[in-house]
Amino acid sequence: MKKTKRKKNIETRKHKALRRALICLGVLVIFSVLHLYTFTPMQGVRQSEAEAGTGQTYLIRHMGGEKWNERDYMTANENAILITRVTFYPLLGWSGRPFGILDCADGGDFQATSLVWRNYDDKANRCIICGRLRSREVMGIRAEGHWDEESEKIRTLPEVTISGGPEIWTEKDGWRYFFAESTVPDTENGEMAYPTEMTVTTLDKAGNPLRQYKGSTYERFIPVDEPQ
Amino acid sequence: MSAMERQEFCDRVLAKVRHATPKEKTAIRAELDAHMEDHAAALLEAGYEEAEAAERAMYAMGDPEEIGAELNKDYPLGWLVLSRVSLILTVLICATFLFSWPKLGNTLNSLQARIAPETSGFASTAKYTYERDLDIRAEIGGDILRIYKVGLDVNRDGETGNAALFFCNYSKNPFGYTADLMYLECGTSGIMESARNYDCGWCSGNAGAYYSLVAKIPVTRTDNAVVLTDDHFGKYVRLEVSVPWEDVT
Amino acid sequence: MEKRKTIEHTGLLVLSLLAGEDMYGYQMIVELARRSDRTFDMKEGTLYPILHGLEKNGVVEAYMQEAPTGRMRKYYHLTKKGAERLRAEEAAWQAYAGAVNAVLRFGAGLGPA
């Protein structure tokens, strides 16, 4: 028995909270679809995938960077391996940039590349060897970096080695992925030790060398015994 | 005077309600106040003096601290937290739009590349003696490569010339990102080289679409097809474009 | 314990009042006193925690309406959920009251000669 026309109801707390939560969710979805903000690091990885042109890749592993707002992601698919550096900016979200891209379409049982990243704060270079292989014999990777001396004087610069134990491996789809890194400090006279070429030796469980590969930084490693 | 005492009564009630918002507190106060006012008015009509009516009305309400303690149970923290957190998050996210709205320009660029690439501000303004509009598209990864024009300048001998390809590259998802045209190769007669090696191998645009011009491709009347290939990440794409020699008088 | 029972019962009484028409707080107190011939004489302020609790649980809804005095009054309205609850509670109460009556009648057999 309603005599008068009913006015608008007073909203309960529960109703208000659910309404606001729904709007928040809607805004999240819209901003994600329109690529206006990257809310999660994986969205940043998708961004990086699109820029590199690899197509959809799958997560192999992720590594926290030196700072809380920097992470590295290793993702791969049949034809490519991608290393993405994801950085959190409050106005953009988790922004992802391709850091290393490896075209694996040529095939082969050892698909790897080397990356060098300058760390200005510590005055050092971060050298990374990453990739994938099929052999179950390989237990370690030893890498040595070489670089050209551009000045007239000939100087002996220290070699860098990256060695890894079981912690560097991740298994997926029949491949064994690895990601090993080492930090190379600048020389005493403040010169950047930036290797232009790397040699990689795979080792078995006992530490005996199995096979050797060579490659310029950011390029594919090629077996040493094969003709170029 | 009665109004002051009513206010004190409400203050004592509300002191016990810990998690009510100012708006909610005002509403509770108004409701309790109205009740006491109505009751006092009824007592006045019954013949009581104003002061006594007010006192009786307030006494009839009961113990304010007890009322407040019971009311407090009706205003728990849970929903309030969700409500506030959702609001703050929504406001923050929308605020980033002030910074990210130019990204919508990328989308416009991407749409323009689909509809009318030659009108884009990123398209090359180079002019050739003979030009032909084209619409040749190929899928490269998550992007579409579109050749929209071919140009030809003829040498004095009338048999040889230089061709140019106008093309753009845009993502299949208009809101997505476009890959760089790094791996393109261009050539004729089976001799291919990186597109960037050609003169004016120029690229302009944004994450929505990239526009490129590859020029000074040597062609002849007989060898008149320009080939564009892309081979990376296991996907091979080959596009062949005929140079418009038939237009040459 | 007695106080708690009063509050619980008051909730049921409020729902029953609202089943008839929408009401505001003071109106409910007056109507309750009238119908029960002053048997229910509770502290009026304690009505409001009950009302707000019923509102929180979705058993009643509230809206504002202007009174003849010009003030805005908060009216309460029984929801569908509330009507169902009322029916259930009423049935339970009838069963309880019936059981009490049955026991008392049985005992009432003992009387003065």
Higher pLDDT among residues A41 and A185, named by residue: A41
Higher pLDDT among residues B202 and A152, named by residue: B202
Higher pLDDT among residues A12 and A194, named by residue: A12
- Picking from B10, B46, B16, B15, the residue whose alpha carbon sits closest to that of residue B28 is B10
The pLDDT of residue B32 is above 90: yes
CB contact under 8 A, B60 and C53: no
List the beta bridge partners of residue B65. none
Q: Give the model's pLDDT for residue C54.
A: 92
CA angle A204, A212, B234 (to 5 degrees): 105
C62 touches chain A (CB under 8 A): yes
Give the strand pairing for A80-89 and A70-76. antiparallel
Q: How confident is the model at residue B138 (pLDDT cuts 50, 70, 90)?
A: very high
> pLDDT digits over A101-138, tens only?
999 988 788 999 999 888 777 777 888 889 999 988 88
| Residues B93-107, mean pLDDT to the nearest whole number | 92
Tokens 């969710």 sit at which residue?
A25
**For chain A, what percent of residues have pLDDT higher than 70?**
88
Q: How far lies B176's CA from each of A44, A81, A92, in Å?
A: 12, 21, 15
| Residues B181-210, mean pLDDT to the nearest whole number | 78
When mean pLDDT is compared across A146-155, B123-132, B202-211, the lowest value belongs to A146-155
Structure tokens at B125: 């303004």
Chain C partners (3+ C-beta pairs within 8 A): A, B
The pLDDT of residue A2 is above 50: no
Question: ipTM score here?
Answer: 0.82
CATH architecture of the domain C2-106 equals Orthogonal Bundle (1.10)
CB contact under 8 A, C44 and B38: no
**Torsion, Cα of C97, C100, C104, C105 (10° steps):** 60
CB contact under 8 A, B96 and A54: no
The pLDDT of residue A192 is above 80: no
Q: Could you tell me the residue ranges of all domains in chain B?
A: 2-100, 108-247
Structure tokens at B34: 């109205």
Chain B partners (3+ C-beta pairs within 8 A): A, C
Give the H/E segment covering residue A73: strand A70-76
Distance from CA of A87 to the nearest CA of B (A): 16
Residue in C20, C22, C63 closest to A10 by CB: C63
B62 touches chain C (CB under 8 A): yes
Q: Could you tell me the residue ranges of all domains in chain C?
A: 2-106
Q: Could you tell me the residue ranges of all domains in chain A?
A: 39-103, 106-228
Backbone phi, then psi, for B58, in 5-degree steps?
Answer: -70, -40
Higher pLDDT among residues C63 and C113, named by residue: C63
**For chain B, what percent of residues have pLDDT higher than 90?**
53
The pLDDT of residue A217 is above 70: yes
CATH architecture of the domain A106-228 equals Sandwich (2.60)
Q: Give the model's pLDDT for residue C75.
A: 94
CB contact under 8 A, C49 and B67: yes
A155 touches chain C (CB under 8 A): no
Residue type, C52: H
CB contact under 8 A, B178 and A16: no
Q: Which one of C3, C7, C8, C26 would you mutate to disrupt binding with B, by most B Cβ within 10 Å of its Cβ?
A: C26
Contact (Cβ atoms closer than 8 angstroms) between residue B142 and residue B205: no
Q: How confident is the model at residue A155 (pLDDT cuts 50, 70, 90)?
A: very low
> pLDDT digits over A6-21, tens only?
567 888 888 999 999 9
- Picking from A219, A200, A172, A203, the residue whose alpha carbon sits closest to that of residue A74 is A172
Instruction: Tell me how far apart the alpha carbons of residues B33 and B36 are, in angstroms, rounded to a whole number.
Output: 5
**For chain A, what percent of residues have pLDDT higher than 90?**
38
Q: Give the model's pLDDT for residue A154.
A: 40
Fold (CATH) for B108-247: Immunoglobulin-like (2.60.40)
Strand ranges (E), B103-234: 130-140, 143-154, 160-171, 184-188, 191-194, 202-206, 209-220, 225-232
Q: Which one of B140, B145, B177 would you mutate to disrupt binding with A, by most A Cβ within 10 Å of its Cβ?
A: B177
Total Cβ atoms within 10 A of residue C1:
4
Instruction: Tell me how far apart the alpha carbons of residues A178 and A165 are, in angstroms, rounded to a whole number.
Output: 10
Average pLDDT along chain C: 84
When mean pLDDT is compared across A42-51, A146-155, A174-183, B202-211, the lowest value belongs to A146-155
Q: Give the model's pLDDT for residue C90.
A: 86
- Picking from C2, C16, C23, the residue whose alpha carbon sits closest to that of residue C77 is C23
Backbone phi, then psi, for C15, in 5-degree steps?
Answer: -60, -40
pTM of the model: 0.79
Q: How confident is the model at residue A3 (pLDDT cuts 50, 70, 90)?
A: very low
Tokens 């060098």 sit at which residue?
A116
- Picking from A53, A94, A50, A48, the residue whose alpha carbon sits closest to that of residue A74 is A48
